[in-house]
Structure 1
């Protein structure tokens, strides 16, 4: 049996992995709770997550906004505008243990990167609010900038070219199952993220010494 290719690069999604992303955190205390609960419901009755997905894929807010007005009315559209304009409030913290994990990976000689589905209009907020991320990551591929997005193979291949990744030597963490499957489909090691402790265990399972 051939030996496993050593891991050299570790790639992280942002929201739900490095950062706690909570739409509620932006809207609670601003809107009546019943309205917040409706907006944030899993079946997305107000389309917030659908419209944000469109922004993550590269569309501009100004182009999407008329659709929000037409499909859900001015009141919902105005709340969506508020949400995008106050996006930093939806990112209340880095997830526990993740800053330390990134630091330990860097100290151990691994190359650490970001790969996120995020709008080009709001991504800057992540580095402005959490500047340690820009210091700890060597680079980040942002879907809204590239106009390609996970789980499609093209964005993983772009990351390979840009960062000099070898698929068999790369590990990826994402909190969304389809994005994990997308990475695995192009030959990366990939794990669905739950918390920093499990991520360390997953890395150890591949022979990473931290």
Structure 2
């Protein structure tokens, strides 16, 4: 949690998407289509083929067509083809909402709290989130997408943009993200924040700040 001294009551909760609202699984997209050994390497934390790095560039606002020649040059045609398949079938990497998260959004809204989205996601694939899970778009008051804004968590500018766009006071917000550096980025921007693990823990974390749902 943030070290902020702001004791303002929480009025709004800001959510990351992948790993918080949505179950994002690169493996779910690739398994059964490519050799298992290759899929295991791509989906490993130390992925030698750089999928996470290339996707991070897309999340920061670069277009796939601009990145793809680098993938070919650095990884070869076979791996580059798998990366193209992954992006072309990205909806398969989003198998479900994470358990309990739709209900958490609904409970927060019913209790009068604002709920918002702030995600690192490519402008070319983000639409799939709302197409597969329209309830998220219906429940959130708005979403800031890194690839659209060409800003990127954990940099302070994207948090500040979200606060401005949503009309929020940093001290009255709490942010949930599954990546430690993004939690730290929110705290630097003056937003109280928690590292997300699951819906039950999120409810306990919110309750610790006086959120009643």
TM range (shorter): over 0.9
Matched with 2:36 is 33
Matched with 2:77 is 74
Cα deviation digits, residues 105-156 of structure 1 (max 9, x gap): 0000000000000000000000000000001101000000000010000000
Which of 92, 105, 110 pairs up with 1:107? 110
Matched with 2:119 is 116
Q: Which has the higher contact order (CA 8 A, sep 6+)?
A: 2
| TM-score (ref. length: structure 2) | 0.97
1:86 aligns with 2:89: yes
CA distance in 2, matches of 1:118, 1:31: 24
Any unmatched runs of 5+ in structure 1?
none
Q: Displacement of 1:3 after TM fit?
A: 8.4
Dislocated runs of 4+, deviation >2 Å: none
Which of 22, 27, 40 pairs up with 1:24? 27
CA distance in 2, matches of 1:144, 1:30: 28
CA distance in 2, matches of 1:148, 1:44: 24
Matched with 1:52 is 55
Cα root mean square deviation, aligned: 1.0
Q: How many residues align?
A: 209
CA distance in 2, matches of 1:205, 1:15: 24
Any unmatched runs of 5+ in structure 2?
none
Matched with 2:132 is 129
Q: Displacement of 1:32 after TM fit?
A: 1.4
CA distance in 1, matches of 2:84, 2:181: 28
User: 1:70 aligns to what SS in structure 2?
Assistant: helix
| TM-score (ref. length: structure 1) | 0.98
